[in-house]
Structure 1
Amino acid sequence: KLLYVAERKTESPKASSAKIKCSMLMSNPTDVYREDWGEALSHKSVPVLCCVDLKSGSLSVLQGVPSDVSPGQAVWSMSGESVFFVGWYHEPYRLGLKFCTNLRLSEENVSVLSPRLSPDGSALVFLQGKVFGPHAQCLKMQMVTTVELIINRIIMCFVGEFAGVYEALPSCCWSEDSQRVVFSSAHKNWKVQARLKTHTGTGLRIIILTFTCVHLVNLVGFLPSDGQSVTWETLQSPLTLFIWFVYAAGLDFGAILLKPSPQSETKLPLVVFIHGKFLLNTHCIVAVNYRGSTGFGQDSILSLIGQIGQQDVKDVQFALQTDSTLDPERLAVFGGSHGGFLSCHLIGQYPDVYRACAVRNPVVNAATLLGPATSSTGNIYSRDDSLLLAREFSYERIPTAEALMKCALLLMLGGRDRRVSPHQGLELYRALKNVHVRRLLWFPEDGHSLSRVDTQTDCFLNTVLWLQEHL
């Protein structure tokens, strides 16, 4: 049998039907607004769990899910007679679910994701976090067993070589003996693979540093018996990187600097790429993981609350002062979403520093996120959850309220963006009448991620050409 999630079918009475009952129109009016689950889940409002028998081809909808709950992330029990799933309440409203998983479950202040059943069916592990607050936060790994029907916390956040769990568990994360869980997580500037003994909650080991955003290492290996080491085979050699760490207010943050080789100039142009992604063979790239980025512990993430547009901006600017071979006269910045927010802040707060900027669906008016954005509660967050304070806070964090932007600006906007209204970018574009060099790319059929193949190609080529022209 195959288990999957589908949208519940709604019966729409046809106007041409001669037998339209009044009760049908009242219970299922065609023009009533229905909330959906936001970005990348448009028109997905009431999902149901479905089961198809692969032998007979019969299809059924599983019953028993409360009508005010949307089910997802379902897994079979060992017997195949029951299902474990995560359910999200419809009330008070549906928030964007794909990118903000910190929505309330059954307990008042608890969110849950990634249920994973062990091969022998004796234990279920899942990740748990707090409701609201930063949507990319350090998570607890929890386990419930058939022997003891209690929830045991396995790990939350470790100091030293392990910086916590930040992302969903792999679909097949258990070892064959049901004693260990293997998962990946951010660890400073790297992504690591870790292994944990579930029966003791100890024995957490980082088994490999896999890659950074630009440090791709293709490896293959197999999980051995307990007590033995993993043997890894390198399929592709990594790039050589220069990495440094800086410290501020007792919290770490990191940056990765990539230089072209061989170095053709004494002073090299630099592109600041928030969190990093692509390479230019004639420019330096610095990818900054400012305080508040994942991989540096929960304290680092919480330090950004109430400080966006200030602490993160200063961290990025501070990272530029590290290498003397960088040309201060040829600086550019690139970012998307919150990275676009930082990019706009940088060219607004430091208008004489940057010569070019390229941003994708940037947040340029944090105050308006309290309205149309489907993830507004997760984006604007104050220490005491006060909406009034959040509004005051957000008006102080508007990049367009900073000094006049002078650099060449390239805007890339998705017309179907549900996380950040594209009208924010349009607002910025129209406001910058003093900027003689500006360009807007509009993708009417794409959303926040600008992830369509043709869109990605267009954005990449235009960004590279824009930076080469203005640096």
Structure 2
Amino acid sequence: MSSTGTALYKQLAQFPTYRAAQFQSSNVIRATTSALDYDGKVKRQNYKTFFVTPESVSSTISQDSPDVVASLVSPSGKYLAVLRESNDAAASGGKKRTVEIWSSSQLEACEDVTKIHGVFYSDEYLSSISFSPSERKIAYTAEENTIENSDDDPLAKYRFIPEFGEAYGSKKKPSIFLFSWASRGQDAPNPSVAPLTLADPPTNPVLLGHPVFASESRVLAIGYEYSRDGRILGVIYCPNRLSGLWELTVPKVSPHDAGDGTRCSGTRLTQNSRSCRSPRVLHRKGLSDLLIWVSNAVGGPHASCATLHVKDLETGEERILVEPVWDPQQSDFPGLYITTLAPYPFIQLSSSSSSEALYYLATSSIWRSRSTVVLISLQDGEVVELTPDDETLHYSWTVLCTDGRNKIVCTRSAPCRPPELVVGTIEGPDKVEWQVIAQPDLSDDLQSKLDTLSTSIIPIPDHHPTEIILLRSGGAASAPCITLPHGGPHSTMTTAFNAWTSTFALEGYTIAMPNYTGSLGFGEKYVRELLGRIGSLDVEDCMASVRHVVACGISSYGQGQQLLYGGSHGGFLLGHLIGQYPDVFSGAVLRNPVISLGEISTSDIPDWYYEESGLSFAATSVVTPEVYDRLFKMSPSAHVDAVRVPVIILIGEKDQRVAPTQGRNYYHALKARGKDVQLFCLKDDSHPLDSVEGQLVSYETARVLFDAQRSKSA
């Protein structure tokens, strides 16, 4: 394959993905794209504006803006808020930060906030930009300034402050900031910016983020809390953290008079037993406003079936719209499995039986091995799937935004279809017309290659609910098979486009992606069923998928025929598979793998090691000899002596989720036993190895190993 395969991989990996979208008016959509630039070794972000009618689509592109951290169009479409961070050698930390408000092509307001706070937040758990109803204020999240040494505390700069863990770098103290401005004019005061601070903060610090205006004087936010041992347990990929929904009442004073901050009263609206996120406010004409949010249980598995809540902001009445689903039938709604809601997810339709409007929420959710779009009634919680499986392409979908009425913007993709941008016009609760407004620019040659790919979703007999996504090219009867289990373990392999899998399929490999017991999208029963059985039940499901592919004649045992690739918990599974079944496989690539459960070390999620192993976790938990013995027996390290196949290990040196020492120690253990093992380290990558360089190295190392093994059987 060599350079030809690398060129094909780069070609497929450089197609843009759609990260966000907004309606600027009824037929104008502003979308944010991200694309890999292998020459510059950077990810480039662009903004594309689409002018859409039922008959035609036209578009314009705004050039790459690497200094724009986040932006948002106001609900009226009149204003654009921009959070900008640019290089400035004279500024603190070498960065200059500004908040800008644009009206059409004119700068309405601008303020240098470099000295007011640290970096802007732009993640999905703590970050958001929200306009007040008057559209004269915005709320956003940024890092509170670090306190240096002072007369009161000469050691302040050395005091430990916990971080938010993986993917958050040195972010420790998020704070909500209010930016206010007046209309342009000679007498208009300068814009002002001030932090929102609780007038009566609780004893255990509450770290506020993800602000949303409910009214001009009320801001809703998510508050994260320290655990009893003074940690912030890792947040990313973990919707089970102690995080409450807060209502902040902003006093009717100008931030100009607020000094160091606007002190506000705060009320926690939710229970300590729930992990809450994605507050969204629906303003209903002539009716009270509704607050919508998503929650999961605190503790336990790091991801699970979510609940959807609604609260009437006038009466205070609260209901659960969508409950967890325990054990669905194959064709039934399996429950909600979502990280965050779209910034504005609401749909309004006319009732066929009355003059009253009917309100819905549109979101994407994992539904078995696909991500689909569901419409949820805010009246009774009824769920309707808008994107049933076509059983040919098996598209996976993500909701980006709605217009608040009957239009929805989504991105969709499939193994043979790079991401597209699609607009849906919802004509009824179960009827939608889709219009593709942007497709990847494929050459005829590449299109013909992708058209040879076939995708199927295959249930594994006697291992319900396990199923595999099978991807292969052409009509080859049997080919070397790469089994690729997901991490988590409470995650899901979906049918979304992936350049890595599509490239290997086009190069003659069969790709089998098992969704084993514990995967999301199959019911809460099966999430819980894996707890305490990692290293056995999930391994058995993966082996059953290998055997089934062989029994179906799609692949075969033998030298160079069964290959493995996986990261994190997927790497954990690979360590078990090559140790427990050393004669079945002929090569494995492990990315940031969990190898020894008892060596928790620097992980930002120490609770994971306990909960997934069937042990209760508390802030006071320590790894006793008895605990270590149990964890060791469930670890891949227990089978290191049996490993025979060539192994490649990839490590991100900045990984805070799985300590890099896990992979390094596995390398040394295999090396000491005379095994064929290679270790590759990426100094600027963290857990997902998703930098431009990290993704290319992940592909190249696997290509070299797998091609070498395949050539032995030729």
User: TM-score under structure 2 normalisation?
Assistant: 0.61
Q: Structure 1 CA distance, aligned partners of 2:695 and 2:346?
A: 35
Residue 302 of structure 1: SS of its match in structure 2? helix
- Contact 1:408/1:435, CA 8 A, preserved across alignment: no
Deviation at 1:415, TM superposition (A): 0.7
1:96 paired with 2:234, answer: yes
CA offset digits 1:268-293 (Å, max 9, x no partner): 11100114552312111000000100
AA aligned to 1:289 is N
Counterpart position of 1:394: 631
Counterpart position of 1:129: 296
Counterpart position of 2:468: 255
Deviation at 1:123, TM superposition (A): 0.7
Counterpart position of 1:328: 557
Deviation at 1:215, TM superposition (A): 6.2
Q: Structure 1 CA distance, aligned partners of 2:645 and 2:571?
A: 15
Deviation at 1:102, TM superposition (A): 0.8
Counterpart position of 1:117: 281
Deviation at 1:53, TM superposition (A): 2.6
1:37 paired with 2:275, answer: no
AA aligned to 1:412 is L
Q: Structure 1 CA distance, aligned partners of 2:597 and 2:425?
A: 46
Q: Structure 2 CA distance, aligned partners of 1:227 and 1:362?
A: 44
Deviation at 1:109, TM superposition (A): 2.1
Deviation at 1:228, TM superposition (A): 6.3
1:308 paired with 2:534, answer: yes
Deviation at 1:218, TM superposition (A): 3.5
Counterpart position of 1:429: 667
Q: Percent identity?
A: 24
- Contact 1:221/1:230, CA 8 A, preserved across alignment: no
Q: Structure 2 CA distance, aligned partners of 1:123 and 1:458?
A: 48
Deviation at 1:391, TM superposition (A): 4.3
- Contact 2:572/2:595, CA 8 A, preserved across alignment: yes
Deviation at 1:435, TM superposition (A): 4.5
- Structure-to-structure mapping, 1:54-93, within 5 angstroms: 55=182, 56-64=190-198, 66=201, 68-77=205-214, 79-92=215-228, 93=231
AA aligned to 1:24 is D
- Which of these residues, 10, 24, 34, is aligned with residue 153 of structure 2? 24
Counterpart position of 1:274: 485
Root-mean-square deviation (CA, aligned residues, Å) is: 2.4
Counterpart position of 2:363: 183
Counterpart position of 2:706: 467
Q: Highest Rg: 1 or 2?
A: 2
Q: Structure 2 CA distance, aligned partners of 1:351 and 1:384?
A: 29
Q: Structure 2 CA distance, aligned partners of 1:63 and 1:154?
A: 32
Deviation at 1:404, TM superposition (A): 1.9
AA aligned to 2:554 is T
1:2 paired with 2:138, answer: yes
- Which of these residues, 336, 340, 343, is aligned with residue 171 of structure 1? 343
Counterpart position of 1:17: none
- Contact 1:52/1:60, CA 8 A, preserved across alignment: yes
Deviation at 1:171, TM superposition (A): 1.7
Deviation at 1:108, TM superposition (A): 3.5
Instruction: Number of aligned residue pairs: give it.
Output: 456
Deviation at 1:311, TM superposition (A): 0.4
Gaps of 5+ in 1: 14-19
AA aligned to 1:448 is H
CA offset digits 1:361-401 (Å, max 9, x no partner): 000011112x4211111342155616567645422211011
CA offset digits 1:57-100 (Å, max 9, x no partner): 321111227360111222111x2322111111123221111222
Indicate the larger mover: 153-162 or 356-365. Answer: 153-162
- Contact 2:579/2:643, CA 8 A, preserved across alignment: yes
TM-aligned CA distance change 1:262 to 1:338, over 3 Å: same
TM-aligned CA distance change 1:228 to 1:268, over 3 Å: closer
Residue 259 of structure 1: SS of its match in structure 2? strand
TM-aligned CA distance change 1:286 to 1:82, over 3 Å: same
CA offset digits 1:231-254 (Å, max 9, x no partner): 1235769853222112546x4111
Deviation at 1:262, TM superposition (A): 4.2
Gaps of 5+ in 2: 1-136, 183-189, 245-270, 350-357, 389-394, 397-412, 440-449, 487-492
- Which of these residues, 131, 136, 147, is aligned with residue 11 of structure 1? 147
TM-aligned CA distance change 1:310 to 1:419, over 3 Å: same
1:224 paired with 2:426, answer: yes
Counterpart position of 2:454: 240
The structure with the greater share of residues assigned to strand is 2
TM-aligned CA distance change 1:462 to 1:213, over 3 Å: farther
